[in-house]
């Protein structure tokens, strides 16, 4: 019998996140100049910032190359990015090797088919409620929240709560 995902929360030290469809709702607004704009949840941002302040690692692996997205996440304290990544397993392997992170300590949240191979390499593959069926099949946890609307906050908060880090020094983090 497979363990409940909740038993895996205690071992997580690292969050690996896709962007479009996870940190955003997957919608792209294209301006007349060709710039592609996205929206991101402030709640996700707060959770990411708190996680980093509590010593968790956060890595972004995305096929996208939007510098605005990178700047937003850098402002939250994220330092590890794999932008324009079309082989997410290679990016994941490189990241884990650099920091010597065991796969059993990794939560990966993705929403679409390019995420599946990387999700299969970690202890806790997760996805938003509106992920594609192929991703939902490999996810050990499916958030009740859609991408870009707080699904990252959902998983980060769960991990921090089981480790006693949620609401600790409440005034220390701002989005």
pLDDT tens track for 61-116: 999 998 999 999 999 999 999 999 989 999 999 999 999 999 999 999 999 999 99
d(CA 146, CA 136): 13
Kind of pairing, strands 80-82 and 57-61? parallel
* Domains of the chain, residue spans: 5-166
Average pLDDT over residues 58-62: 98
CATH superfamily ID and name for 5-166 = HAD superfamily/HAD-like (3.40.50.1000)
Model pLDDT, residue 36: 87
d(CA 82, CA 24): 17
Model pLDDT, residue 171: 53
pTM of the predicted protein model: 0.93
Average pLDDT over residues 128-153: 98
Residue that the structure tokens 């996870």 belong to = 22
């Amino acid at each position: 019998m497979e363990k409940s995902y909740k038993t895996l929360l205690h071992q997580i030290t690292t969050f690996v996140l896709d962007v479009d469809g996870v940190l955003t709702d997957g919608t792209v607004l294209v301006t007349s100049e060709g710039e592609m704009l996205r929206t991101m949840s402030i709640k996700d941002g707060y959770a990411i910032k708190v996680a980093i302040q509590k010593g968790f690692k956060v890595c972004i692996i995305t096929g996208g190359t939007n510098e605005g997205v990178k700047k937003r996440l850098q402002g939250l304290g994220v330092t590890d990015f794999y932008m324009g990544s079309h082989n997410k397993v290679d990016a994941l392997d490189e990241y884990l090797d650099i920091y010597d992170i065991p796969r059993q300590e990794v939560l990966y949240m993705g929403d679409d088919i390019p995420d599946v191979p990387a999700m299969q390499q970690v202890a806790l593959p997760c996805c938003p409620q509106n992920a594609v069926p192929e991703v939902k099949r490999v996810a050990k946890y499916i958030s009740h929240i859609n991408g870009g609307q707080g699904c990252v906050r959902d998983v980060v908060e769960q991990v921090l709560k089981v480790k006693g880090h949620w609401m600790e020094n409440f005034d220390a983090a701002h989005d």
